[in-house]
Amino acid sequence: MLLEIAEIDVRHGAEDAFAKAMRETGVPELAACEGVVSIRFGRGVENPSRFTFNVVWTSMDAHIAARKLDSFDRFRAAFGDAAIGGTMHHYEMDDAVAGLSA
C-alpha cells in the first residue's frame, strides 16, 4: 500500500468554494480512480487556506496509472484556479502493523 499526503494551498477568499468543489466533485472523481483504497480530505485549523488529501493507493504504479484517467482529470479540474501551491509526499505502508490502542 502507498499513502499519499498532499497539502494544497488555496487562494484567499476561494476556500469555501474549493471545499465545496472537492466534496461535490473532486473527491468522488478521485475515489472513482482504479487503485484508490481510501481518501481523507480536510481543511486546516490553524491555516484555513490549506487543505489536505490523504489517499491510500494499492501501489505507486496504480497512482501513476490513475494520472492518465478521465476521473483524475476531472478531480484536478475541480481545483479550478483556487490552488496556488502545495506539497505532496508518498509513503510505503507496512501492512504488518494493524490498529493500535491507546
pLDDT (tens digit, 9 = 90+) per residue, 57-95?
Answer: 999 999 999 999 999 999 999 999 999 999 999 999 886
Beta-carbon count within 10 A of 33 CB: 22
Q: Are 25 and 99 in contact (CB under 8 A)?
A: no
**What is the distance between the alpha carbons of residues 66 and 61, in angstroms, rounded to a whole number?**
9
Distances (CA, A) of 86 to 35, 69, 76: 23, 22, 14
Is pLDDT above 70 for 97? no
Mean pLDDT of 26-46: 97
pLDDT at 95: 66
Q: What is the pTM of this model?
A: 0.86
**pLDDT, averaged across the chain:** 93
Is pLDDT above 60 for 101? no
Going from N- to C-terminal start, the domains of the chain cover 2-92
Q: Which CATH number fits domain 2-92: 3.10.150.10, 3.30.70.100, 1.20.1060.10, 3.60.20.10?
A: 3.30.70.100
pLDDT at 90: 96
